[in-house]
Amino acid sequence: MAARIVSPVASERMPLAIGIDLGGTQLRAALITPQGDILSRTAVATAATAGPAAVLDQICAVVEKVCAGVDKGRISGIGVSAPGPLDSKQGIALSIPTLAGFVDYPLGQALRARLSCPVVLENDGIAAALGEWQFGAGRGVENMVYVTVSTGIGGGVVVDNRILRGRRGMAAHVGHMSFIAEGALCVCGNRGCFEAYGSGPAFVARAQRQAFASTSTSLGQNGAVIDSPAVFAAAKAGDALAMALVAEEAAILGTGFTSLLHLFSPDVLVMGGGLAHEFDMLYPGIQSVIQKSAMPAFRDVRIKRAALNDNSGLIGAAGLVFAA
Amino acid sequence: MAARIVSPVASERMPLAIGIDLGGTQLRAALITPQGDILSRTAVATAATAGPAAVLDQICAVVEKVCAGVDKGRISGIGVSAPGPLDSKQGIALSIPTLAGFVDYPLGQALRARLSCPVVLENDGIAAALGEWQFGAGRGVENMVYVTVSTGIGGGVVVDNRILRGRRGMAAHVGHMSFIAEGALCVCGNRGCFEAYGSGPAFVARAQRQAFASTSTSLGQNGAVIDSPAVFAAAKAGDALAMALVAEEAAILGTGFTSLLHLFSPDVLVMGGGLAHEFDMLYPGIQSVIQKSAMPAFRDVRIKRAALNDNSGLIGAAGLVFAA
């Protein structure tokens, strides 16, 4: 089920929530119904280096924009999805590597003061997992692992019909489990994390390195940029190096996903994030690893693509408002 | 808190439960109070190669033994801790590598038929986690990861005040997360699992290999057996190789534990199993890795030794009976 944009006119008494997705690159906002439908939506480039005060101003501006023409009394609250680790119980951004100044910053409290309405803060992976569980690819299951594969690797986990939060709401940092102990340096400072191997930038870095060393690939020819879409396009066109790179990425994801099956025992594992746009190309390689590596009792777990595309987090964050 | 053996005379009307720990080497049984106290206890060598019928006979015999002299009406039921993966919801042993014939075997049903009382079946890691959470090192916390480091590596996880079960009750196979992708072969058939590096046998294999190659170690001198106690004893006596081996094991455990902190965000991580007998020697090395590798927000999580020693699983399995 993809998110629909429906007319606000159709439902004038329905309570509404605002979902905010505070990313290092984009700040996005949407006005959302209890059914997970998007009434209006906007996005701006995040003022990532300008500090919390400037970002707060931006959030207030996008909130104003998506609420234009809507009776404020219908707004039940604001749900904010932000990169972790953050203490979702206290509403504190503990450390957002991609946003300057967001260290032990009481984002929830600051927003409540500015916007005079209930604010809930959630780790972006957990918010997106909630969106997919309530309205997307994980609808109706008791156990779900959501993994977003993008600039980083994040996620959220539902076990026994409950979203996992853990101490300070910091559970499910699935990108920072060991993939190769003492291996490649990760942005978190540790070595060998799943994210350091499986993320979009890691995929692109391998592609650039191998394309430079290759004389037979079409990748990077005539100075063309080698990014993730370029590699997938070349693989579709039959470029041998690009196909091998896609197979390698799929194998990495399959290995990481196998760990997650063993750790959380989901009914379904949902993959979102930028690389999920090419889910169909990655899926056979992911499944091949799982069928070989997972313990037999875990091999029939379904692996699915996120259904809400880039809106999982927005919709999940808004859903938290209705659940509160 | 260590398990006490208390007198049955003191509490003649208290309901009781029988805990069974069905291991590949030992079959243990105990009669247990709702407070987690052990009234009587017995153990026999498991008839591991004789098939399910013979093991059932053994279980019935140890149950008889621990109940001797106790009014059967006081027995609320039997909780069985068994190696996984097993479907604890259906009471089916899906595959126990160490016990011949236990493949898709309806152990719960077979025991109920033989013993005419309620039977609950639980994965051994989860049962031990429950024991430590209810009566041991995890008492009173909302979030706990229990890891047993022994012949294999298993575990159980409590998040947000609930034990994680997942699909078919198979969550928390913490020994089978990736440690080094495509690395050493694991008994599960996969490569590179945490268990393949951190388990007791992996530790001993490294010790034997390195001792043979060393001319300066006391390990294995005059044909002495090199097992886990021997390595710890030599390390305590200042043997350089043994000290390095202990440090390496601690580093492996620290790396695996770091993954588990990021994945589950516990308040406390409890280590049990055979290697936990030397917890004090391993602890500094484990903490050193966590302080270096875990994301800062996770570095203050307490790492503790199991409090119930080898009885965590027995007591946890019995606790399930009272909770049912």
Q: Give me A262's structure tokens.
A: 């063993």
Is A191 part of the contact surface with chain B (CB cutoff 8 Å)?
yes
Is A293 part of the contact surface with chain B (CB cutoff 8 Å)?
yes
Asked whether the beta carbons of B68 and B8 are under 8 A apart, the reply is: no
Q: Is A135 part of a structural domain of the chain?
A: no
Q: Peptide bond before B85: cis, by omega within 30 degrees of 0?
A: yes
DSSP strand E in chain A: where? 16-22, 26-32, 38-45, 75-82, 86-87, 92-95, 103-105, 119-123, 144-149, 153-159, 162-163, 268-272, 302-305
- Say how many CB pairs under 8 Å bridge A and B: 163
Question: Which chain A positions have a beta carbon within 8 Å of B87's beta carbon?
Answer: 297
ipTM for the predicted complex: 0.91
Asked whether the beta carbons of B129 and B319 are under 8 A apart, the reply is: no
Q: Is B96 part of a structural domain of the chain?
A: yes
Question: How far is it, in rounded angstroms, from Cα A213 to Cα A140?
Answer: 48
- State whether A267 and B167 contact (CB < 8 Å): yes
Q: Does residue A2 carry a pLDDT above 70? A: no
Residues A180, A225 within the same domain: yes
Asked whether the beta carbons of B301 and A203 are under 8 A apart, the reply is: no
Q: Is A2 part of a structural domain of the chain?
A: no
Q: Return the SS3 of B257.
A: helix
Q: Which of A5-9, B110-114, B302-306 has the highest mean pLDDT?
A: B302-306
Residues B82, B153 within the same domain: no
Q: At A188, is the pLDDT very low, low, confident or very high (cuts 50, 70, 90)?
A: confident
Percent of chain A with pLDDT over 90: 84
What pLDDT is recorded for position A11? 61
Window from A90-104, A119-133, B121-135 with minimum mean pLDDT = A90-104
Question: How far is it, in rounded angstroms, from Cα B43 to Cα A44?
Answer: 67
Residues B159, B301 within the same domain: yes
Indicate the residue of A170, A191, A263 with minimum beta-carbon distance to B265: A170
What pLDDT is recorded for position B4? 56
Indicate the residue of A165, A167, A178 with minimum beta-carbon distance to B259: A178
Residues A27, A160 within the same domain: no
Q: Is B280 part of a structural domain of the chain?
A: yes
Query: What confidence tens digit (pLDDT) does each residue in A219-245 have?
Result: 999 999 999 999 999 999 999 999 999
Q: Which residue of B has its CA nearest to A258?
A: B177
Q: Which of A263, A292, A300, A302 to mutate to test the interface with B (most CBs of B within 10 A)?
A: A263
Q: Is A134 part of a structural domain of the chain?
A: no
Say which amino acid occupies A24. Answer: G
Residues B89, B213 within the same domain: no
Query: Which letter does DSSP use for residue A1 in this model?
Result: -
- State whether A85 and B301 contact (CB < 8 Å): no
Q: At B6, is the pLDDT very low, low, confident or very high (cuts 50, 70, 90)?
A: low
Percent of chain B with pLDDT over 90: 84
Question: How far is it, in rounded angstroms, from Cα B55 to Cα B27?
Answer: 9
Q: At B5, is the pLDDT very low, low, confident or very high (cuts 50, 70, 90)?
A: low
Within a 10 A sphere around the Cβ of A237, how many other Cβ atoms? 10
Q: B310 or B147: which carries more pLDDT confidence?
A: B147
User: What average pLDDT does this structure show over A185-210?
Assistant: 94
Q: Return the SS3 of A189.
A: coil
Is B179 part of the contact surface with chain A (CB cutoff 8 Å)?
yes
What pLDDT is recorded for position B2? 47
Window from A38-42, B8-12, B170-174 with minimum mean pLDDT = B8-12
Closest C-alpha to B77, from B134, B130, B122: B122
Structural domain boundaries, residue A205: 140-305
Q: Does residue A260 carry a pLDDT above 80? A: yes
Q: Is B1 part of a structural domain of the chain?
A: no
Window from A246-255, B18-27, B87-96, B241-250 with minimum mean pLDDT = B87-96
For residue B296, give how far its alpha carbon lies from the nearest alpha carbon of chain A (Å).
9
- State whether A166 and B159 contact (CB < 8 Å): yes
| DSSP per-residue letters across B24-63 | SSEEEEEEE-TTS-EEEEEEEE--TTS-HHHHHHHHHHHH
Q: Give me B244's structure tokens.
A: 């390095």
Q: Does residue A321 carry a pLDDT above 60? A: yes
pTM of the model: 0.92
Question: How far is it, in rounded angstroms, from Cα A94 to Cα A117?
Answer: 22
Name the helix (H) or strand (E) containing A66: helix A52-67
Q: At B110, is the pLDDT very low, low, confident or very high (cuts 50, 70, 90)?
A: very high
User: What average pLDDT does this structure show over A122-148?
Assistant: 96
Say which amino acid occupies A86. Answer: L
Question: Which chain A positions have a beta carbon within 8 Å of B183's beta carbon?
Answer: 180
Q: Does residue B258 carry a pLDDT above 90? A: yes
**Could you give the number of structural domains in chain B?**
2
Question: How far is it, in rounded angstroms, from Cα B51 to Cα B65?
Answer: 22
Query: What confidence tens digit (pLDDT) does each residue in A29-67 have?
Result: 999 999 999 999 999 999 999 999 999 999 999 999 999
Closest C-alpha to A142, from A5, A12, A265, A293: A265
Query: What confidence tens digit (pLDDT) does each residue in A278-291 have?
Result: 999 999 999 999 99
User: What average pLDDT does this structure show over A64-74?
Assistant: 92
Q: Scan for tokens 């993008």, then name that residue.
A: A150
- State whether A170 and B197 contact (CB < 8 Å): no
- State whether A181 and B197 contact (CB < 8 Å): yes
What pLDDT is recorded for position A301? 98
Is B140 part of the contact surface with chain A (CB cutoff 8 Å)?
no
User: B40-49 b/e with 16+ CB inside 10 Å = b?
Assistant: bbbbeebbbe
Indicate the residue of A166, A182, A183 with minimum beta-carbon distance to B265: A166
Angle at B123 between CA B126 and CA B322, to 5 degrees: 65
Say which amino acid occupies B21. Answer: D
Residues A111, A183 within the same domain: no
Q: Is B135 part of a structural domain of the chain?
A: no
Q: Is B99 part of a structural domain of the chain?
A: yes
- State whether B178 and A179 contact (CB < 8 Å): yes
User: What average pLDDT does this structure show over A136-153?
Assistant: 96
Query: What confidence tens digit (pLDDT) does each residue in B186-233 have?
Result: 988 899 999 999 999 999 999 999 999 999 999 999 999 999 999 999
Strand A92-95 relative to strand A103-105: parallel, antiparallel, unpaired? antiparallel
Percent of chain A with pLDDT over 70: 97
SS (H, E, C) B239-292: CHHHHHHHHHHHHHHHHHHHHHHHHHCCCEEEEECHHHHHHHHHHHHHHHHHHH
Question: How far is it, in rounded angstroms, from Cα A98 to Cα A120?
Answer: 21
CATH number assigned to the domain comprising residue A205: 3.30.420.40
The sheet with strand A103-105 has its strands ordered as: A86-87, A92-95, A103-105
What pLDDT is recorded for position B1? 44
Query: What confidence tens digit (pLDDT) does each residue in A83-95 have?
Result: 878 888 899 998 8
What pLDDT is recorded for position A1? 44
For residue A324, give how far its alpha carbon lies from the nearest alpha carbon of chain B (Å).
17
Question: How far is it, in rounded angstroms, from Cα A292 to Cα B321?
Answer: 37
Residues B85, B160 within the same domain: no
Residues A48, A171 within the same domain: no
What pLDDT is recorded for position A95? 83
Within a 10 A sphere around the Cβ of A66, how many other Cβ atoms? 22
Query: Which letter does DSSP use for residue B9 in this model?
Result: G
Is A299 part of the contact surface with chain B (CB cutoff 8 Å)?
no
Q: Does residue B34 carry a pLDDT above 70? A: yes
Count CA within 13 A, CB hemisphere, residue A172: 33
Enumerate residues 213 to 272 of chain B having a beta carbon within 8 A of any beta carbon in chain A. Answer: 252, 255-256, 258-259, 262-267
Q: At A4, is the pLDDT very low, low, confident or very high (cuts 50, 70, 90)?
A: low
What pLDDT is recorded for position B276? 97
Closest C-alpha to B251, from B284, B277, B224: B284
Residues B87, B152 within the same domain: no
Residues A292, A235 within the same domain: yes
Asked whether the beta carbons of A317 and A81 are under 8 A apart, the reply is: yes
Residues B51, B149 within the same domain: no
Indicate the residue of A168, A183, A297 with minimum beta-carbon distance to B170: A297
Query: What confidence tens digit (pLDDT) does each residue in B265-305 have?
Result: 999 999 999 999 999 999 999 999 999 999 999 999 999 99
Say which amino acid occupies B209. Answer: R
Taking CA atoms, B189 is separated from A112, A239, A245, B182, B192, in Å, by 52, 33, 26, 11, 10
Question: How far is it, in rounded angstroms, from Cα B33 to Cα B15?
Answer: 7
Indicate the average pLDDT of chain B: 93
Q: Return the SS3 of A210.
A: helix
Closest C-alpha to A176, from A199, A153, A159, A156: A153
- State whether B252 and A301 contact (CB < 8 Å): no
Angle between helices A228-236 and A279-293 (to 10 degrees): 80
Asked whether the beta carbons of B242 and B217 are under 8 A apart, the reply is: yes
What pLDDT is recorded for position A187? 85
Residues B182, B218 within the same domain: yes
Paired strand residues for A45: A26
Q: Peptide bond before A85: cis, by omega within 30 degrees of 0?
A: yes
Q: At B98, is the pLDDT very low, low, confident or very high (cuts 50, 70, 90)?
A: confident
Four-CA torsion B24, B27, B33, B37, nearest 10 degrees: -80
What pLDDT is recorded for position A85? 80
